[in-house]
Amino acid sequence: MTPIGIIHTDFKSKKGMPIQAKTSPDGKGRIELLDRYVDGISDLEGFSHIILLYVFHLSEGYRLKVKPFLDDEKRGLFATRAPNRPNNIGLSVVKLEGIRGNIISISGTDMLDGTPLLDIKPYVPQMDNRENARIGWLEHKIHMMENTCNDGRFGG
């Protein structure tokens, strides 16, 4: 895969950064899209939110059992959103604030400055939201998510 652009944010290090985009509504950022992909964002401005797929470019190694945020018990990596993964792919739903040329302004950022962007998809609640979705081990812990930041357990 080849990046289509770079995500710029105020987060210069892993320490203290938000662990999910939803916990960072005021986190501002911008995507600097490579010029050759600008035609691909026509009609995107009508969407309030977009899904970003990107590379955890500073992630090093992984373990198949991790202590995720919100828990002190080791869990299977694929049952978590831990950033240290075999393929280092991140996903965030962010608010689309505006588009000007090859610059896409966003808010709700939870990625480091300089993050390579792999893809952009429109967020469509009727397609992306699932009724009666279960959230496994997080069911009794999700209430603790507000204002949660990286505590260093995955590097920082």
Q: Tell me, what's the pLDDT at 107?
A: 94
Q: Tell me, what's the pLDDT at 81?
A: 83
Q: Which domain holds residue 70?
A: 5-124+131-144
CATH of the domain at 38: 2.40.30.70
Asked if the structure places residue 151 within a domain, the reply is: no
Backbone angles phi, psi at 137, to 5 degrees: -65, -20
Asked if the structure places residue 101 within a domain, the reply is: yes
Q: pTM of the prediction?
A: 0.83
Asked if the structure places residue 138 within a domain, the reply is: yes
Asked if the structure places residue 46 within a domain, the reply is: yes
Half-sphere exposure of 84 (CA within 13 A, CB side): 19
Asked if the structure places residue 139 within a domain, the reply is: yes
Asked if the structure places residue 11 within a domain, the reply is: yes
Number of domains in the chain: 1
Q: Tell me, what's the pLDDT at 82?
A: 86
Q: Tell me, what's the pLDDT at 133?
A: 83
Q: Residue-wise over 48-79: b if at least 16 C-beta within 10 A, else e?
A: ebbbbebbbeebeebeeebebbbeeeebebee
Asked if the structure places residue 150 within a domain, the reply is: no
Asked if the structure places residue 13 within a domain, the reply is: yes
Low-confidence ranges of the chain (pLDDT < 70): 14-25, 141-156
